[in-house]
Each structure stands twice: as C-alpha cells, then as structure tokens.
Chains A and B, each alone.
Chain A
Amino acid sequence: MTAIALILLAALAFLAAGLWIPFVIGGAAIAVIIAKKGLAGLSAVGLVTWSSANSFTLTAIPLFILMAEILLQTGLASRLYRGLAHATSRLPGGLMQTNIVGCALFSAISGSSVATAASIGTVALPELASRGYPMRMAYGSLAAGGTLGILIPPSIALIIYGTFTDSSIVRLFAAGLIPGLVLALMFSLFVGLFGGGRGRQPSGEDEDAGIVATTIDVLPVMALIVLVLCSLYLGIATPTEAAAVGSVLAFILAALFGDFSWSALKAAFHNSIRASAAILFIVVAAFLFSFALAISGVSGALTAFILSLGLGKAAFLASVAVLYLILGLFIESIAMMVITVPLLAQTFSLYAIDPIWFGVFLVILIEIGQITPPFGLNLFVIQSLNKAPYADVVLGAVPYYAILLGFLVLLVLFPSLALWLPGLIS
C-alpha cells in the first residue's frame, strides 16, 4: 500500500506541476498496475482501454459538441442572444437578464460550462460595455450563467458521471433540468434586483421594432432545443440519437438561417474533434485508473475508512462538499469528476444515497469550482474575452457563489427538486 500511496502522491504532484491530465491519470494507472501485478498485469491496459472507448453512451458527447459548434460558427448563437436581448430589454436588469436566459438556453444545446460562458460572453460583453452596464456585474452574470451549461441538459459532465456510475443518462438529464431552471431563476432574480437598471439604448435602435426580428432570431434555436429535450424525455430517442438528430438539424438550420459557409463548417468540425479528444482521452484514461484502484484495494480501503469514521449522511455530504470545494480551487472539473467518482460511488450504498441525486449535487459543486478563484475556469474565460481585470471578474462572481451554495443546501433539504422529474420517466 505504501508504493501505491507514493504513486498517487507523485501523480498529484505531476498534476499540480502541469503535466497533461490524461497522461497523469494514465501514467498513475499503469504504475499502480505494475506495482500490484507486475509487468504481466499490463495486458489489462489494452482490454480496459478498448472496452471503455467502445461505448455507445459516450458517443453523445462529440455529437452534442458538434451541434453547439455548428450553431456557434454559423452565427445562430449570436442571433439567439440578439433576439433575447430584444425580448428581455424591458425587464429589470435589461441585458443582464439576457445573459442569464441566453446562458440557460445555450446550456440546453452545448452541455459545457466553458462553451456556454465563452459563446454568450463573446456576443454579450461588447453590447454590455457599449450600453454602459456595470461591467463587474456583467462579468459575474456571464461566468455564473455559464456554469448552467453542465447542469441544464444535455450535460457532458452528467454523461460522464452516468458512464462511471452506470446510471441512466436520460434520468440524470431529467434530474438536472429543474435545479438548472431554478438556479437560472435565482440568478435572474438577483440581476433583476441588483443588476443596475436597463442600460442605455444604442442610438438609432428602436426598442419596439424587434418582435418579428426577435421571433426570427430565437425561434430556430428554440425549436431545436425543444425537439432535442422532448425526444429525450418522451423516450423517443436515446441521448446519442437526440444528439445526432440535433447535429443534423443544426446543420439544416444553419444552412437556412445562419451564415453558412465551408470555413464555418470546417471550424465547427475542427473544434468539435479537438474538444472531444481532450475530454474523452481523460475519460478513457480514468477508466484505466478506476480499474487500477480497484485491483490495488484502494477503493475498498477508502470505503472501510469512511465506514470507520461513523459519519452520518449529512456529515458525509458536508465532507464531500468541502472536498470538492477544495479540489475545485485547483483541478479542472472533468478531471476532478473522473478521479473521484469511481471512489465515491462505492459509498452510495453505505449512506443510501440515490446516484441520480448525487449526480446533480456533484455537478453543482463542480459549477461552484468553475467560478472559484484562483483557478475557476469560467473566470478565466470571461477575463480573456474582454481583457478584464481578474479581480473584477472574481468580485462579480461572488454573489453567484453564494447563490449556488444556498441552492446546494436547498437540494439537500429537498431532494425531490432533482428526483421528481426522473420519477415520472418510466
């Protein structure tokens, strides 16, 4: 066990030093296998890698990414924002509301927090600046709104979680929907109360001229979202099928309503394969890591250790929350999930925790990590879009950090927030 502990410590050191995450995880797994089974044990590397990559469930990830990229590269995502800006211009908070609603809607396409924050942020920040909105508030709304990307379905994080815990992806998606919408509502209430008014209307722009334009801008993407989500929840399509049909429909919508060009399509495919490789290589390496932990006895030892502490369910969940809040300071969300979930999954039965509910709980903790300084990914995305002072982005996100923590408590007190909708799915 000492050798295994040293290997895991070395892996953490390399992770912190900046070695590429899949090589940290894969390297640690290989070292643990050699330490436990000798070189002969390495024959499992091929088999585990093959069986983890050959997964129909995971095929949904590149297809959802492709759908979002097509909408983004052909300008349909920008039109969605523009349309929403007209629709929400009369609400208190003005364009700040558009940020939240835009992020919530784009979350229903993209499945990724960073993609959501970057996509909406790119369009929103110049508009917000030109209309004189308080920028600190604007940065916060975009960084926090972006986190909805991994909660409101489709969610790449929930697909990966479901693959590791053998949970139904459709039920996980259903579990994420109401918490995602409630959080969006809480964000929206906050910007309505403290968003600093509606900003200036740019000269020459008629506020009322937009009803037809709004409909044309918003309708294609809204129709796509409704179709994808309904096909999932009505049991018509699996997540992979919904993603594939969504991609093809996004392509058709882009050809009909977007700035469709060969270069835009090429960029969409190029970005999709890059993002897919980055995420899925980590997942494949994590399956090997999970296998290595199982044969090394670490998983069993950790379960026995947790049991020996005699924690109640509430204390256990609080410890998990603290662990993830600390990890979220330093580690990228997908890596954090794939390293810890195989270990934690062993404890669900000890505390009678519903894996579907825990998936939502975990994703909210990851969301918090994404806006936690110093290394929250969404903070960097928003900062880099506008060359904003980092401190402004961090301070802007602080209220949302509190809202997310508050919602986490609500989720523990009222588990049906996450479990009611999946319960309706047969």
Chain B
Amino acid sequence: MKPRAAEAGGAAGRGCAALIRLTDSASCLVLASMAVVVCVDVVCRYALGFSTQIAEEAASLGLVALIFLSLPGAFRDGALLRVDAVYSHLASGLKNLLDVLFHLIALAVTLVYIVQLGRLAAGSFAQGIRSDMALGTPNYLPQAVMVLGLVVLLGAIVAGFLRTLRHLRNSPSAVEGAAQAKDALAK
C-alpha cells in the first residue's frame, strides 16, 4: 500500500489509500453481513417457523453499499474490466496519452454520477422518503453511501491521473507517443 501511495503523490495519495482501505474493509463487512442476515432468515423460516422480514431489504441495501464502496479499490488495483487487445500492444508513449484521456472521461462520468446521486439523496432526505419494506430505511442513507463510494473513486481516479501525468512527463517516449497519436489520427 505504501509504495502505491507514495507514487500517487505525497499526503493526498496516502489519504486516498487510507480511504480505500476503509471502503474495502467496509465492503468486506457488508458482504459478510449480507451472507449472515440472509442465512439467518432461511434458518428461522425453516427451523423456527418465522421470518425475520428484513433479509430482502438488508441484502439489497447491502448490495448497493458493496458495489459503490468496493469501486475505488477495484479501480486502483486495475480490476475494472477493459478490452485491452489493442491497448496492450501500443507503445508506452501512446498508452500514456490514452491513459490521460481515459482518466479524464472516467472523471467526467464519475462527477455526473456524484452530482445526480447527491441530488437524489438530498431529495430523498428533504421529502423523507423511506423504503416501503419492514426496516423502513430512509432512502437517503444508502444513497449517501453510493455518493461516498463515488467520491473516494473520484479520489482514486485523480491519483491515477496524476500518476499518468508524471509518467508522461518523465517518459522519453512522450514525444514519440504524441507523434504516433498524430499519425493515427491522420490515418
């Protein structure tokens, strides 16, 4: 973890790495809780003759948290899927240039998600919207967790972007990459 943080750039990188550690731990905890809550409900239903009534709601909300809290770590560790058939064969200079563009697109998409989910959470809070299931969870809580995960993802993308910029600046093939990109565009 430390070398990655250092590479990503000082205190901000270390902060981001610490946040990712936290969101990862929370995701693991959520996953374990989902398994236990659903399992307990099955046992109660078949062995004790009653249902806890909360399994479906708890598991669904757990899934929301799991997806968004585990995203930053997945992004940092390169676990997000991509078609790298062309990408992996590019020269490092061109790859770095593409990486800059990819990070910018990822930043823009994530920002739209954050703004829109933030607005949704604020709206749910203002209108007091709750789940219509047994727990009656206020919707803004899981929606805020989605925003939280996306904000940490944004941090991970920024750290990756800065790292890519540094590679681009230090890479002797940066000029060569720019020339390759120009050639590719001309073709």
| A278 interface residue (CB < 8 Å to B) | yes
Residues on the B chain within 8 Å of A55, using CB: 60, 63
Residues on the A chain within 8 Å of B102, using CB: 18-20, 23
Residues on the A chain within 8 Å of B88, using CB: 18
| A276 interface residue (CB < 8 Å to B) | yes
Decide: A62 near B60, CB < 8 A? Known: A17-B87, A273-B24, A275-B79: no
Task: Determine if B79 and A50 form an interchain contact, defined as CB atoms under 8 angstroms apart.
Answer: no
Residues on the B chain within 8 Å of A282, using CB: 81
Task: Determine if A56 and B60 form an interchain contact, defined as CB atoms under 8 angstroms apart.
Answer: yes
Residues on the A chain within 8 Å of B108, using CB: 27
- Chain B: interface secondary structure? helix
* Nearest-Cβ distance from residue A285 to partner chain B, whole angstroms: 9
Task: Determine if B73 and A17 form an interchain contact, defined as CB atoms under 8 angstroms apart.
Answer: no
Stretch at the interface among B5-13, B113-121, B161-169, B172-180: B113-121
Residues on the B chain within 8 Å of A23, using CB: 80, 102, 105-106, 109
Q: Determine which residue in A62, A334, A374 has the highest number of CB atoms from chain B within 10 A of its CB, and name it.
A: A62
Interface residues of A (CB under 8 A from B): 14-23, 26-27, 30, 42-43, 45-47, 49-50, 53-56, 58-59, 62-63, 66, 236-237, 240-241, 244-245, 247-248, 266, 269-270, 272-278, 280-282, 284, 330-332, 334-335, 374-375
Task: Determine if A277 and B98 form an interchain contact, defined as CB atoms under 8 angstroms apart.
Answer: no
A-B contact pairs, 16 of them (CB 8 A): A16-B83, A21-B83, A23-B102, A45-B117, A49-B146, A53-B68, A56-B60, A59-B59, A59-B62, A241-B42, A244-B34, A273-B70, A274-B77, A277-B66, A281-B74, A330-B83
Residues on the A chain within 8 Å of B34, using CB: 59, 62-63, 244
Task: Determine if A375 and B85 form an interchain contact, defined as CB atoms under 8 angstroms apart.
Answer: yes
| B186 interface residue (CB < 8 Å to A) | no
Which residues of B, 9-58, contact A by the 8 Å Cβ criterion?
Answer: 24, 27-28, 31-32, 34-39, 41-42, 46, 55-56
Task: Determine if B83 and A18 form an interchain contact, defined as CB atoms under 8 angstroms apart.
Answer: yes
* Nearest-Cβ distance from residue A272 to partner chain B, whole angstroms: 6
Residues on the B chain within 8 Å of A272, using CB: 31
Decide: A269 near B146, CB < 8 A? Known: A46-B120, A59-B60, A274-B70: no
| A270-B28 Cα distance, complex, nearest whole Å | 7
Task: Determine if B109 and A27 form an interchain contact, defined as CB atoms under 8 angstroms apart.
Answer: yes
Task: Determine if B39 and A45 form an interchain contact, defined as CB atoms under 8 angstroms apart.
Answer: no
* Nearest-Cβ distance from residue A26 to partner chain B, whole angstroms: 5
Residues on the B chain within 8 Å of A46, using CB: 116-120, 143
Task: Determine if B112 and A18 form an interchain contact, defined as CB atoms under 8 angstroms apart.
Answer: no
Q: Which of A19, A244, A332 interacts with B38 by CB under 8 Å? A: A244
Task: Determine if B116 and A49 form an interchain contact, defined as CB atoms under 8 angstroms apart.
Answer: yes
Task: Determine if A21 and B59 form an interchain contact, defined as CB atoms under 8 angstroms apart.
Answer: no
Interface size bucket, B side?
Answer: 35 or more
Task: Determine if A247 and B80 form an interchain contact, defined as CB atoms under 8 angstroms apart.
Answer: no
Task: Determine if B67 and A276 form an interchain contact, defined as CB atoms under 8 angstroms apart.
Answer: yes
Q: Which residue of B lies closest to A42 (CB)?
A: B116
Which residues of B, 96-110, contact A by the 8 Å Cβ criterion?
Answer: 98, 102, 105-106, 108-109
| B142 interface residue (CB < 8 Å to A) | yes
Task: Determine if A15 and B83 form an interchain contact, defined as CB atoms under 8 angstroms apart.
Answer: yes
Residues on the B chain within 8 Å of A26, using CB: 109, 113
| A247-B59 Cα distance, complex, nearest whole Å | 14
Residues on the B chain within 8 Å of A332, using CB: 81, 83
* Nearest-Cβ distance from residue A345 to partner chain B, whole angstroms: 22
Task: Determine if B73 and A59 form an interchain contact, defined as CB atoms under 8 angstroms apart.
Answer: no
Task: Determine if A277 and B62 form an interchain contact, defined as CB atoms under 8 angstroms apart.
Answer: no
* Nearest-Cβ distance from residue B61 to partner chain A, whole angstroms: 7
| A330-B143 Cα distance, complex, nearest whole Å | 35
* Nearest-Cβ distance from residue A13 to partner chain B, whole angstroms: 10
Residues on the B chain within 8 Å of A43, using CB: 116, 119
Q: Which of B24, B27, B63, B81 interacts with A278 by CB under 8 Å? A: B81
| A62-B67 Cα distance, complex, nearest whole Å | 9
| B82 interface residue (CB < 8 Å to A) | yes
* Nearest-Cβ distance from residue B122 to partner chain A, whole angstroms: 10
| A375-B89 Cα distance, complex, nearest whole Å | 13
Residues on the B chain within 8 Å of A59, using CB: 34, 38, 59-60, 62-63
| A47-B75 Cα distance, complex, nearest whole Å | 24
Task: Determine if B117 and A56 form an interchain contact, defined as CB atoms under 8 angstroms apart.
Answer: no
Task: Determine if A20 and B60 form an interchain contact, defined as CB atoms under 8 angstroms apart.
Answer: no
Q: Which residue of A lies closest to B85 (CB)?
A: A375
Residues on the B chain within 8 Å of A237, using CB: 42
Given contacts A277-B71, A278-B81, 6 further A-B pairs with CB under 8 A are A14-B105, A19-B82, A20-B82, A59-B34, A59-B63, A277-B80
| B132 interface residue (CB < 8 Å to A) | no
Residues on the B chain within 8 Å of A47, using CB: 120
| A290-B142 Cα distance, complex, nearest whole Å | 23
A-B pairs with the 6 shortest C-beta distances? A18-B87, A46-B120, A244-B38, A46-B116, A277-B74, A277-B70
Residues on the B chain within 8 Å of A331, using CB: 83
Decide: A270 near B60, CB < 8 A? Known: A19-B105, A23-B105: no
* Nearest-Cβ distance from residue A155 to partner chain B, whole angstroms: 18
Task: Determine if A280 and B146 form an interchain contact, defined as CB atoms under 8 angstroms apart.
Answer: no
Residues on the B chain within 8 Å of A236, using CB: 46
Q: Which residue of A lies closest to B124 (CB)?
A: A50
Q: Which residue of B lies closest to A335 (CB)?
A: B81
